[in-house]
Structure 1
């Protein structure tokens, strides 16, 4: 065993670094105790990740001799000083030996700690930059802190960062500000390809827009709920407000844009392939103009106003569009979608929608998430034999009787792949069993997922009858949250008797008579000789139970 370990340790460091890069951060740190070679490999590992969780003693085992913290949690300042010293030593090892840093990541959640280390962060970024860092990932406490006078206090990114010519990716999370002076600097991000700004604070409404315009090689941009700091005339303090607008023009390499929390955006990027837009909440209407991005393949919109006219114009404008996802959008009652290129369609919580007609012969996936009304009619005028339709609903028990009609209104009926239901009851409701009888066989589906059912046992019989009278699933999957319902379902399926069926007449046979065979399936291997109730008790809480039904 020792010989094998030595052979592994003697591999070139570039290979050992590649192995470590595929491990979770904590596991990568633990390799330092394997041998002296692994310790040296750890010290030269070019992906440096530091977190305030390390202040609780989660340093690499190799450092415990010098980094051993006092057991008392009261000695907070000493722990901070040790943490600062540890980060500095790791960075100096690269700087002094002329080694390149691939990634520098700093995560600080503790507000009190952040106030102690801000001056040191400037030095850390300087050392990382002079060591040819390629990726900077900085996370400071969420939201701006306040100074002694109640004004906004935040960490300002040093201007020296933009002098790092090796930088290809910059990720700034909440708690970080970009000053106006930073934007006026003569040297810009000429190598930057990925820019992610989450909750960043700026003093100039157009600062981020200016920054983006100085990134000629940029390929991926994320701007999420960034804020503008404005002076309060009465108190001369800075107040935080949402960014109103953002323009992206002349970015010939830009492929992906993710914008959230901005009222108006304008994009002119000929190579743009993916666009996600969520405007946030504003009193005034929001606007989005991306008509010049004619190579768009993926479009995802949230909280937008969509009309049928918009759909009619969408696909001629973007002839390469393959994926369209709409979430919490206000829709017309009827929409018509027609595209030979569309492969993925997602409609989630789109209010007012009553009828959807889809003419997309190459569509492979359609996901529909709706409310409890189950009133929407969905028709696939032309469909691929590979099309999979997944429906997901939170449904009131009182509206469960509408399920059969909804499933039948999906045309053609063989496209429905899975149906997921969260069946709830309102607290004030008094639940009574419902009588549900049908006059024709229900449509078949592949999978019925029961995410939740009411715990009132008087409703169990109604729920089982309505579900199996609404569709004939090949599989039923349940989370083990309601063992009483699972046991009831098992007994109902396995011990059904002719006298207890739900036929409405002698001419029409219900699912009770059509069900030929039932098998219980679980990924956990359990003795086949034990009874079902015992098996259920042995299942882990996150393990689903599956019934395979043959009709």
Structure 2
């Protein structure tokens, strides 16, 4: 009986394909998608390194961010034209264009894309913003620039495209997405994608595995995901006009959502293992359905990242449900605030859901230097007692020693019975602003803990960038932007704190009140708005 290994063999036991000259076999490999060509290396010794010679017949053209500010646009156009002519008869593996045509004839740009398509391009990245985009995620260009109009006809000869990224352009006509039979990865940003177009994408791209939608302002309904395709990863970022997300996707294992919560949300995904839920809502808003049932009823979930606003939406109803996260291994909480209600929401999250497999916990603490008022009776009354038996590593970032942070730290130390390491990452400017991180750390090191083997480590956020102890989602682009903004805010807050400390040193309470109420200082540094006044009084009249 023949096996798969016998398929290429002739009647006399000869492997005719392997018997071909290397030149012909390399030519055959050059016609295959890259990943399939690499797989031929396991067939036999004669094929082991042959696929590497395939790249002599292919090329990669990248006109990326180094062309962001060309001194002469025509010079850049000429360079692209010369590259295209030089590789006219070679297969193009990747074509990356980061360019705004401005007054350039659109037909010239379309001709570049068509030539790449005809040369069998597999990965096509088209970003027509050239970095000149709105400061807010609105999907618009700045300085009154108009988006490039991209007709669907440029893709009509596509037979090999597996990855496509379109950013900041207008899809003209009635896009059918009918030329993407092999497409597996699709990213759309700042595109006029509407509900009808999305249905066409799902229906006409049967091999689609990854879909990423960013700043698509015309999109209102995200439905039938997985009904027509094999999508395994779905990302939705800053699409604020979406009203309904109704997902039935049996193969989906990764779901990332950052932005305004929709009016209705249903996520029927039995094997979801990777999830990001980040909300832009500042306060709890009434949602028409129960987020706990539709979102967190996933026992297969292993990695979760969420924020304080999302916790308000998920836990704000106060209803206890029977859902569990029993297989969750890593949890990251990005806390914009840490008031009494936020602290209680963290307690609720641990109490309501079974987190028996949780091993690693990352908490991004607020960047504000004001210590929020806590309702101590609410926080101290009946503190939860849990058995986090598998929690081994905890990292608190932007730690400042505020009373709410101390309550959180004590809660974790008392309940993590198998804890091995807890990292307190102070802002590097903490000491410059008058704090003493080493002294505070030494004091906290004496705190009682449930795990006798737990050790505490001191570090600083600015020195921790290359640390291997990072959340699984730390490389996510939107989260990296979020963390960058956090670092900017905290550095600016430290600077203001240091300035205030210098101005108020040695002054009386009356003088402090006068300084804080002065028009120049008060308006420029926003002392009162920051809520720092009680802290300054304590700094002056208390021990330094």
The normalised TM-score by structure 2 is 0.53
The superposition leaves residues 234-273 of structure 1 with CA deviations (integer Å, 9 ceiling, x where unpaired) of: xxxxxx9843346363433333232323432543333332
2:387 alignment partner in structure 1: 359
| Deviation at residue 191 of structure 1 after TM alignment | 3.5
CA contact (8 A) 1:192 1:217 kept: yes
Instruction: Specify whether residues 195 and 322 from structure 1 end up closer, same or farther in structure 2 by C-alpha distance, changes over 3 A only.
Output: farther
Instruction: Specify whether residues 215 and 415 from structure 1 end up closer, same or farther in structure 2 by C-alpha distance, changes over 3 A only.
Output: farther
2:406 alignment partner in structure 1: 375
Give me the whole-angstrom Cα distance separating, in 1, the residues matched to 2:86 and 2:322. Answer: 53
CA contact (8 A) 1:223 1:259 kept: no
Give me the whole-angstrom Cα distance separating, in 2, the residues matched to 1:164 and 1:315. Answer: 49
2:425 alignment partner in structure 1: 392
CA contact (8 A) 2:391 2:418 kept: yes
Please state if 1:194 is matched with 2:227.
no
Please state if 1:342 is matched with 2:358.
yes
| Deviation at residue 120 of structure 1 after TM alignment | 2.9
The structure whose residues are more often strand, as a share, is: 1
CA contact (8 A) 2:259 2:280 kept: yes
Within a 5 Å distance, the mapping from 1:20-419 to structure 2 comes to 44-51=57-64, 53=66, 76=72, 78-90=74-86, 92-94=88-90, 99=91, 101-108=92-99, 111=100, 114-116=102-104, 118-141=106-129, 142=131, 143=133, 144-145=140-141, 152-156=146-150, 158=152, 160-161=154-155, 164-173=158-167, 175-179=168-172, 181-182=174-175, 185=176, 187=178, 189-197=180-188, 199-202=189-192, 204=194, 207-208=197-198, 211-212=201-202, 215-228=205-218, 242-245=240-243, 247=245, 249-264=247-262, 266-280=266-280, 285=285, 289-291=294-296, 293-306=298-311, 316-328=323-335, 331-333=342-344, 335=347, 337=350, 338-349=354-365, 359-372=387-400, 373=402, 374-376=405-407, 377=410, 378-384=412-418, 387-394=420-427, 395=430, 397=434, 403-409=441-447, 411=449, 412=451, 414-419=453-458
| Deviation at residue 329 of structure 1 after TM alignment | 5.2
| Deviation at residue 359 of structure 1 after TM alignment | 3.3
Give me the whole-angstrom Cα distance separating, in 1, the residues matched to 2:394 and 2:118. Answer: 49
Structure of greater Rg: 1
| Deviation at residue 276 of structure 1 after TM alignment | 1.7
The superposition leaves residues 340-388 of structure 1 with CA deviations (integer Å, 9 ceiling, x where unpaired) of: 2222221212687887866332234322224531433232534446x33
The worse-fitting range, judged by mean Cα deviation, of 163-172 and 221-230 is: 221-230
How many residue pairs are counted as aligned between the two chains? 362
Q: For structure 1, which runs of at least 5 residues remain unmatched after alignment? A: 1-9, 22-39, 58-72, 231-239, 434-465, 467-551
Calculate the aligned-residue CA RMSD, in Å: 4.7
Give me the whole-angstrom Cα distance separating, in 2, the residues matched to 1:326 and 1:162. Answer: 46
CA contact (8 A) 1:341 1:362 kept: yes
SS where residue 53 of structure 1 aligns?
Answer: helix
Give me the whole-angstrom Cα distance separating, in 2, the residues matched to 1:356 and 1:114. Answer: 61
2:499 alignment partner in structure 1: 427
Give me the whole-angstrom Cα distance separating, in 2, the residues matched to 1:133 and 1:286. Answer: 48
